[in-house]
Every structure is written in C-alpha cells, then in structure tokens.
Structure 1
C-alpha cells in the first residue's frame, strides 16, 4: 500500500532557512515554529496565484500539545516560545491563561503575504524583541517584601536596639 502524500503544505524559503534568526534557534524552537506554521490555514487567490493566511494572528499551540507531541518538559516549551519571540519569528497577540479554554494566540511573521516591515526576523542580528517576552506579574514589591520593621518607638525602650515584636 502506498503512503498517503500531503498535497498541500508550507514550504520554507531558503532566505529563512539560512537566516541568523532561524539558525540561532534550538531544536525545540524549530519544532514549535513548524507546529505553529502547520496551524495556519491558507487560501489561494485565483487571479494572482498567491496564498493568504486568514487565521494568522489567532494561531495557538498549547504547552500540553507540545508536551504530548515531543515528550518535552513544560520549561522547554516556554524557552522555545521565548526564543521565537526574541528572534522575531512570532509575535504574541493575546496572553491567555485566564480560564478554561483561554489560550495564547500568536502571529507567525514568516509568511510571504506579510509586509516586509512586519517581517522582524530579517532585522534580527541588529534588533531583538526581548522586551516583548511575557514575564510573570508577581514581581511587585520585591525590594520591600521581606523587610522587617520595628513595632515600637525608640522612646519606649531601655536598650539601644528596638525589638521587632512586642512580647506579652
């Protein structure tokens, strides 16, 4: 029995495959990029013969899907996603994670239907997009989080050092 061939797919241009932004990716980053590209739907324009990708900007591939597909840890997915954003190959549109079924959505910036100004990966060695990597929001008050303050005034003590709590 002959193996079923895929009749349609996404072909990576040589300009992308030999670019610095793609070559700097680890294997997990390349795998995640390929998974995001396979999530794209395409429509062919009959007049011009060009492809457009109408769902670009709402593409999602979750951490759980990545773990099941490749057998990797959760941190591998996060570092691969961060590296793709840093190199300018994807852009996060929506953060997600605020409830059941709420997933992060991304825009893949390597499709040929995009404006060249949107293709960040072409400018990668000179620019990076590290400031767009999502960070944890729990870092408020790090400088004052574990600071102990005296509870009594200096005038109520007989010694030089004020106590940290009042004993009964």
Structure 2
C-alpha cells in the first residue's frame, strides 16, 4: 500500500525573533527543524485575528512514515529529530502510542501562543535540558532481574574432561 502525503500549500506559521535567534533553535539540526515545521503545520485553530486559539495542541501527531515519505529519510533520522526537539524543549509528549494499529504518539507544541511562558521550555534550554523526558524503547530495557550476577559471566561452561 502506497502512502500519499498531503501538504497544505496555503497558510503557514510565523516564528518570532526570540524563538528564531534562541540558543535552542540554533542548536537544532536540519531534520529537527523540518520536523518542528511539520508539527506546526498540523496545528488547527479557531477564531480570527488576535483571538486565534489552537484547538489541537497536545494532540498533534506526525508519524515516522509521514516523515519518511515527505523527506525521504530513514526512521533513525525521525527518532533523532524527535529526541532533539524534546531535549531542547520545543515539544512534549502527551501520549505514548503504539499499543495497537493506528495508535499514534501525541505531542504538545511549546512554541505557540496560548502556552504559558513558564511552560515554554525552550527559553531555559542551555541551562536545563529535558533528556529524561525522551521516551525509551519498549521491551528493550535491562532490569535488575536480567543483569549479570557477581561471579557469573553469562557464558555456558563446556566440559573439557571426559570420565
């Protein structure tokens, strides 16, 4: 099944100068900036003029497949870009996703109007980062029960002497 990418050609998103020249934004790789712009394109609003409010912030999703189709990159590029956006404080994951078909991760964009200044993490980026909020892969975590015990190497011993 071929996936068709839909790009809205009208509309857009305005980046303010304090965001554009911030240390957090300047540290982003090109793929991270592209993913940030994709999240901005997913925003939907209601109202007119200065009374505009974003109705789906916190429920934004942009999948690996959409990113791969749009930019021709691999899954690792998407994951690296997403992790960098979380680390620098531009997005926050609100829902993990991946539990069933069509169950996507949801994100909140922290650069839009309507987000309180205290919640705009990217403003505090050089002094603080949010690496602890980066989601770890499921079913690949090493716990205490599976770690090596003292005195055991994990190898099977092979008997060399026969009786």
TM-score after normalising by structure 2? 0.82
* Distance apart, 1:13 and its partner CA: 0.6
Listed one character per residue, the Cα deviations across residues 84-129 of structure 1 (whole Å, up to 9, x for unaligned) are 0000000001111111000000000000111101100001111100
Per-residue CA deviation, residues 48-89 of structure 1 (Å, 9 max, x unaligned), is x23211100000000000000000011000000000000000
Check 1:149–1:69 CA distance in 2 against 1; reply closer, same or farther (3 A cut): closer
**What are the ranges of 5 or more consecutive residues in structure 2 without an aligned counterpart?**
1-8
The number of equivalent residue pairs is: 148
Q: Does 1:17 align with 2:20?
A: yes
RMSD of aligned residue pairs (Cα, Å): 2.4
**Based on CA coordinates, which of the two structures has the bigger radius of gyration?**
1
Unaligned residue ranges in structure 1 (runs of 5+): 151-162
The structure, 1 or 2, with the larger RCO (C-alpha pairs under 8 Å, 6+ apart) is 2
TM-score by length of 1: 0.79
Contact 1:51/1:113, CA 8 A, preserved across alignment: no
